Structure 1
Amino acid sequence: MDKVTPQSQTPILSLVCTAFGHDYIVTRKITDHISEYKCTCCGREVSNSYSGKFEALTYKQREVNECLSSFFRKKKRISIH
């Protein structure tokens, strides 16, 4: 007897995003101008590029954002004191 597993709704939800656009929420704030976003429907993750456009959140982009966030936190901590 074969097991029947329910299919993921990701293809259907990605069609919704294709037709109506993504519904992004901020998942992490890197600096005052750069944030990471995630679509509530399909789960796509993006980040602001340095020119202000959305860019797919790759492993390399995550590392860059982590370093930038660390630098930004240190800079703000020093400027406060």
Structure 2
Amino acid sequence: MTEGQDKPITDMSFEEALRALEGVVRSLESGDVPLDESIALYERGEELRKACQARLDAAQAKIEKIVAGADGAPTGTAPFDADS
């Protein structure tokens, strides 16, 4: 059984989800997993990948909204869903 296989993805931190995804990949690459389990692992891996990508996208959006002052130095941040 791979790490994080039973824990709901929504309860995982980014780091936990990434470790679980790495575990899924290792299991699938080993070739020692029966077909039905491989399919379940692949589905779990895809859900983990989507969750990680969503968190990375949200983090990138926040970073892109850093507010710069007249001198170009960061003066704070703005919510990524706020109008510019």
On whether the aligned pair clears a TM of 0.5, the verdict is no
| TM-score (normalised: structure 2) | 0.34
Structure that is richer in strand per residue: 1
| TM-score (normalised: structure 1) | 0.35
Greater relative contact order (CA < 8 Å, ≥ 6 in sequence): 2
Structure that is richer in helix per residue: 2
